[in-house]
Amino acid sequence: MTIHKEGYTIIATATVICGAIVFGLSKVLCTDGAWFWIAIAPVVVFFYLVVQFFRLPSRSNRSAANELVAPCDGKVVVIEETEEPEYFKGKRIQVSIFMSPLNVHANWVPCEGEVKFAKYHKGLFLVAWHPKSSTDNERTTIVIQHPNGKEVLFRQIAGAVARRIVYYVKPGQQVSRNEQFGFIKFGSRVDIFLPLGSDVVAQLGDVTKGNETVIARW
């Protein structure tokens, strides 16, 4: 387990702030007394939550070539046939994974292939499960073409807490399994759009692990 590079600055800032608060409390409260430890408990919890949010577990993708894995940790909240208006402009199967602030927030590519499309959109910060968050929130859209010619679209969507989406890929780039394509800071959601006829093995309510859980086959 390591710390994601996106967390270095935030963790350093949190260290300074929390350290200053603890130092200040030590000057007004007896460090041997119960009130001091009660007062610093929320500070310690806050610092722990910040650090654990940016944790980066070591994971290895061993799925078959025709399997697509979850791009993130979270819970499957949507599986439906829908219209994808930005890139495909047609019907696709949508699988949405909601990420709580307690989940690992690194994002992995769901399959190997070539990045055909990558675009960032400014937007609102509706709660991530809101029906319009997929089209109205801050988001990115990325499309990968698998060596078999099929394309998968996945969309990072900011939530009410998230205020920063980071992505690392660009059109023309070759990506492979076990590779991260981005990170979403704090609560968020990822939508995946699959070709019609894909065998979706994920079910509503499933808990996913990014780069490990198989969500579909094609």
Q: Which active-site residues does the annotation give?
A: 188
Is the CB of residue 215 less than 8 Å from the CB of residue 69? Answer: yes
Taking CA atoms, 73 is separated from 17, 30, 32, in Å, by: 29, 43, 41
Q: Strand (E) positions, 106-205?
A: 106-108, 113-121, 139-145, 151-158, 165-167, 174-175, 180-184, 188-194, 199-200
- Name the strand (E) or helix (H) holding 207: strand 207-208
Amino acid at residue number 163? R
Q: Which residue has the tokens 């059109």?
A: 171
Taking CA atoms, 122 is separated from 7, 86, 165, in Å, by: 22, 15, 10
Q: Which of 199, 146, 196, 150 is nearest to 176 (CA)?
A: 146
